[in-house]
Amino acid sequence: MRQNSAPTGLEEILQEVDRINPSGALGLNDCVVSHIYGKAEQIAREAVTQKEKPRVDWDRRLDDILTSRVFGFPSMLLLLAIVFWLTVSGANYPSVVLASALFWGQDRLMDLCRWLSAPAWVSGFFVEGVYRCLAWVVSVMLPPMAIFFPCFTLLEDMGYLPRIAFNLDRFFKKAGAHGKQSLTMSMGFGCNAAGVVACRIIESPRERLIAMLTNNFVPCNGRFPTLIALAGLMALGMGSSAGATLIVVGVVLTGIALTLAVSWLLSKTLLRGIPSSFTLELPPYRKPQVGRVIVRSVFDRTLFVLGRAAGVAAPAGGITWLLANIHVGGTSVLARCANWLNPFGQALGLDGFIVMAFVLGFPANEIVLPILIMSYLATGAMTGLDSVEALYRLFVVEHGWTWLTVLCTMLFSLLHYPCGTTLWTIWRESGSARWTALAFLLPLAIACAVCLAVAQTVRLVGQV
């Protein structure tokens, strides 16, 4: 009878660990899991007989490119760029058509109010305020999401998303986060609220919180219209149409870098801990089921996120209309608040109206630019301009914007607090008001610090 000895299976595993990891450089968990998977592969090879071996292993050939150290990241950036290009280019025409239809409906509602002899404040508050805000959110959000989410789901159904997690795993592990955060971060490009919900795939509560708190640093499709318009404005000032593409790509890469940096900071302070092991078995590439993917992405993601955004945007439209149309001493409340915030905005490279637009745009990022245009034009209702040249005349010529103003506005749009829908989702997913408050305050502090540093540095060297 044997005493004081481990079972044979455990002895075998420990001997294998000593063999493949004599220096102890790898973690014990990684070595044990590696041995288990190796043993499973050996058993599968002995138990399964394959009648005819394929001449070319296409899965391995593709993985040699898509997960290699040389071509993995360029191919990943190329695929994401194609998705972004399809989203931005493909959404332009549907957005215009949808906006035309919705604003035609606004005109009919105004006719109905006149026919009913409704008071001016009723038609203004409910039609020019609530309805117009909803029209902006739906026309701006729905087409990009209807394109981005199916494209993203197709990549998921094909089996490519685990390859993205494989490529980014070592960066998130160095940041003290989980490799699956790369997937939730990618989902955030469509909608940060959807990215927060996707954090459920991360088993560790600590790493799940890190992913939820940092998902906001990748721009969602609600911020892309503002970023693209401002990038076009800066490129127009530089006289280069190709510059807008480079600027947007730079903004996206900045957001990814900040996601890693803030994840590392949280993992070393408030959310200390050892990164959990991430054993990723790459699935085979599959032919996507296009019909099912489209239906699932539209109903489970697009309409779900749009419904939440519309629910928080409707009250914002009414409040914005009230602030723009209630006058005290001949000046609207909106203008008075903007003047009060102007010194703070100037320190950040912005102005009071820009800061006020972000404050009122808290329910939905899509309405930030319309609110800013309305504030400058003093029209009393949210307004849009039909070209970059018109934006240039309004912002640069009439209100004195410089390239620093455009840059700081883009940085603040990228880094500032999540929208109301995302914060609500964080509260529902975390079940904690404290973590929800941190999700609001942390990005705001970073946005203010970055804009303050950029603005003061540029002014110090005398570039503006």
CB 178 within 8 A of CB 276: yes
pLDDT grade, residue 240 (50/70/90)?
Answer: low
Residue for token pair 């990038």: 231
Q: What is the mean pLDDT of the chain?
A: 80
Give residue-wise pLDDT tens across range 157-175. 888 877 877 788 788 888 8
pLDDT grade, residue 347 (50/70/90)?
Answer: very high
Least confident of 7-21, 100-114, 379-393, 404-418: 7-21
Percent of the chain with pLDDT over 70: 81
| Choice between 452 and 389, residue whose per-residue pLDDT is larger | 452
What does residue 202 show for φ and ψ, rounded to 5 degrees? -90, 120
What is residue 277's predicted lDDT score, i.e. its pLDDT?
Answer: 65
Mean pLDDT value across residues 401-422: 92
* Residue 91 neighbours by CB under 8 Å, 6+ apart: 143, 144, 146, 147
Give residue-wise pLDDT tens across range 96-153. 788 888 889 888 999 999 898 888 888 888 888 888 878 877 877 778 778 877 887 7
Q: What tokens does 37 get?
A: 């998977």
Region of 117 (left: φ > 0; alpha: ψ -120 to 50; beta: rest) is left
Mean pLDDT value across residues 318-346: 89
Least confident of 259-263, 276-280, 298-302, 366-370: 276-280
What is residue 32's predicted lDDT score, i.e. its pLDDT?
Answer: 66
Residue ranges covered by each domain of the chain: 73-279+288-460
pLDDT grade, residue 411 (50/70/90)?
Answer: very high
What is residue 6's predicted lDDT score, i.e. its pLDDT?
Answer: 44
pTM: 0.76
Mean pLDDT value across residues 347-357: 93
- pLDDT value at 243 more than 80: no
Mean pLDDT value across residues 234-243: 60
Mean pLDDT value across residues 437-446: 95
CB 227 within 8 A of CB 409: no
Give residue-wise pLDDT tens across range 172-190. 888 888 878 888 887 887 7
| Choice between 442 and 461, residue whose per-residue pLDDT is larger | 442
What is residue 325's predicted lDDT score, i.e. its pLDDT?
Answer: 87
- pLDDT value at 66 more than 70: yes
- pLDDT value at 355 more than 60: yes
What does residue 24 show for φ and ψ, rounded to 5 degrees? 75, 20
Least confident of 13-27, 211-225, 278-292: 13-27
What is residue 68's predicted lDDT score, i.e. its pLDDT?
Answer: 81
pLDDT grade, residue 3 (50/70/90)?
Answer: very low
> Residues of 157-196 as b/e, b for ≥16 C-beta within 10 angstroms?
bebbbbbbbbbbbebbbebbbbbbbbbbbbbbbbbbbbbb
What is residue 137's predicted lDDT score, i.e. its pLDDT?
Answer: 76
- Rounded distance, CA 179 to CA 107, Å? 50
| Choice between 71 and 282, residue whose per-residue pLDDT is larger | 71
Report which residue type is found at 141.
Answer: M
pLDDT grade, residue 21 (50/70/90)?
Answer: low
- Rounded distance, CA 392 to CA 230, Å? 9
| Choice between 228 and 337, residue whose per-residue pLDDT is larger | 337
What is residue 222's predicted lDDT score, i.e. its pLDDT?
Answer: 76
pLDDT grade, residue 449 (50/70/90)?
Answer: very high
pLDDT grade, residue 393 (50/70/90)?
Answer: confident
| Choice between 154 and 115, residue whose per-residue pLDDT is larger | 115
Q: What tokens does 293 get?
A: 């993917």
pLDDT grade, residue 2 (50/70/90)?
Answer: very low
Least confident of 52-56, 101-105, 153-157, 406-410: 52-56
What is residue 176's predicted lDDT score, i.e. its pLDDT?
Answer: 84
- Rounded distance, CA 20 to CA 36, Å? 13
CB 298 within 8 A of CB 341: no
